[in-house]
Amino acid sequence: MGHGNYIDPMKDVRPGPGMTEAKGAERYTVQAGERLELTYVVLPGESRDIDVSVDLVGEGAEAVLRGVFLCNADERVRIHVLMHHRAPRCVSRQLFNGLAGGRADVLFNGRIVVAPDAQQTEAYQENHNILRSETARVESRPELEIYADDVKCSHGATVGRLNEDEQFYMRSRGIPEDEAQFLQMVSFLAPVTSVLPEDGRKKVEAAVRTL
């Protein structure tokens, strides 16, 4: 990458519940040759409104947005992403994975807009969710608006539960049920948490134990 890269891989690792955080929308403009990288972490006990808009305005600009959210009580988490491709040959990736337990209420709304001039865009979005209780609610709402014709664009959204065949397999090898579930949840979050520094990853893993 060229000059002026904006990389902030630990934008928002919270030390724990009860912390105050900035409210309101965030807006980023990414110029030609720049790369924006943001990682969001929402830990149990936090209700959050994440509202982020990214404008890819220069040719070849890149943006990577990742996030994990872990809820175990009555949190309300809203994640709105607007990824606006305004120039040709830009690349964007979004990956948000979450675990929702308790009576949590989660909405992920990821919007990708590809302007008519933004040819050869690559835009990817994934949002995967695992429910850890009967009463948690997750809604995943992808929106794609594509006005250019030479575009690679994909999105994937899932809401499910921990796989029971995997659990039985692990238990049959002597791994206790709670440890098996822990391994499943940690590996589910790994595509996002692997970019966190050690202490951030440890905080997330400690939080997984509460789910």
Partner 1 sequence: MNDILLEIKDLHAGIGGKEILHGIDLTVRRGEVHAIMGPNGAGKSTLGAVLAGRPDYEVTRGSITFNGADLLAMAPEERSWAGLFLSFQYPVEIPGVTITAFMKAAVQARRKARGLDEMKTSDFLKLLKEKMAFVKMRPEFAKREVNVGFSGGEKKRGEIFQMAMLDPVLSILDETDSGLDVDALKIVADGVNALHTPEKSTLVITHYQKLLEYIRPDIVHVLKDGRIVRTAGKELADEIERDGFDRF
Q: Which stretch binds partner 1 (CB under 8 A): 1-9, 22-30, 32-40, 162-170?
A: 162-170
CB of 44 to partner 1, least distance (A): 21
Nearest to 110 by CA among 93, 88, 98, 130: 93
Of 58 and 191, which CB lies nearer to partner 1 in the complex structure?
A: 191
Select the residue interacting with partner 1 from 117, 152, 161, 168 (CB under 8 A).
168
Select the residue interacting with partner 1 from 187, 197, 199, 206 (CB under 8 A).
187
Of 141 and 161, which CB lies nearer to partner 1 in the complex structure?
A: 161
Residue 33 near residue 3 (C-beta atoms within 8 A): yes
Torsion region of 89: left, alpha or beta (phi above 0 gives left; psi -120 to 50 gives alpha): left
Alpha carbons within 13 angstroms on the beta-carbon side of residue 75 total 26
| Residue count, binding to partner 1 (CB under 8 A) | 20
Of 107 and 175, which CB lies nearer to partner 1 in the complex structure?
A: 175
Select the residue interacting with partner 1 from 159, 188, 192, 200 (CB under 8 A).
188
CB of 173 to partner 1, least distance (A): 4
Q: Which stretch binds partner 1 (CB under 8 A): 2-10, 20-28, 88-96, 186-194?
A: 186-194
183 binds partner 1 (CB under 8 A): yes
Nearest to 132 by CA among 93, 86, 188: 188
CA angle, corner 35, sides to 33 and 39, nearest 5? Answer: 175
Nearest to 54 by CA among 151, 158, 156, 125: 125
Nearest to 78 by CA among 101, 52, 106, 99: 106
CB of 13 to partner 1, least distance (A): 21
| Interface positions with partner 1 (CB under 8 A) | 164-166, 168-177, 179, 183-184, 186-188, 190
